[in-house]
Amino acid sequence: MHPRPILTLGAIASLMPLWVSSGAIAQSRPNPAVYSSGVTLFEDITLTPNFTPNPATVRGLSGGSRAASDMVRRTQSPTGLCNGFINNEPDHTMVLTQPFPYLSLQVQSRQDTTLIVRDQDGNTWCNDNYQTFNPAIIGEWAAGTYRIWVGGISPRQSAPYVITLSETPETAANPVSPANTPQLQR
C-alpha cells in the first residue's frame, strides 16, 4: 500500500510512508555524526504506531551538490516540487514497521530547505515551502523503509535542521519552531 495524496493546510498534496519506532525512538546509525554542540546528527529511525515520545525528532545538516531533480528525474511529485541540492546518499533512513493512517514529517530550519523521500519500491515524494521555507510530507504511510534527503536551495549550502515526526494532527500543526532549531557547529 502506498500513501494517498491529501491536501493539507498549505494546499500541498501529500502522501508518503514514514518511520517506525516503538518506545524509544531513534536508533542511530553505527557512526552517526556528533558535533561540538553534543548533538547527534543523521540518525536513522524506526517507528511503530503509538510511538513515544510523540513527536519524535532527528537532526541533520541540509544540502549537497547534486540537483534533487536529477536524482528523481522530474521537477514535481504528487506532494510538491523536487527542488534543491542534496547528497548522493540519504541523510536518514526511516523504517515504519506497520502502516500509519496519518504521519507527518516536517523539516524545520532557519534556512530554506527541500525534502525528498523515496520508498523501497522507488516511489518518490518531494516538497518545498510547506510552511514558509520549510518542507513537509503529511498523509497515510505504508509500512516499509524510506530514504530521506533534506536539501539546500543552493549547491553546497548547508544548514542545521530538525525533522519532526508526528502521528497526531494537533502535534503536526505545531512543529518545532525555527527559533528552537539548534545552532550546530562542526
Say if residue 29's pLDDT is above 60.
no
CA distance 84 to 94: 21
Q: What is the pLDDT of residues 44-56, one digit of tens each?
A: 999 999 999 999 9
CA distance 79 to 117: 10
Each domain of the chain, given as residue ranges in start order, spans: 6-169
Residue 5, preceding peptide bond in cis (omega within 30° of 0): no
Mean pLDDT of the chain: 76
Q: Which CATH class is domain 6-169?
A: mainly beta
- pTM of this prediction? 0.75
Contacts of 98 (CB under 8 A, 6+ apart): 20, 48, 49, 143
Say if residue 1's pLDDT is above 90.
no
Say if residue 179's pLDDT is above 70.
no
pLDDT at residue number 115: 96
Q: What is the pLDDT of residues 82-130, one digit of tens each?
A: 999 999 999 999 999 999 999 999 999 999 999 999 999 999 999 998 8
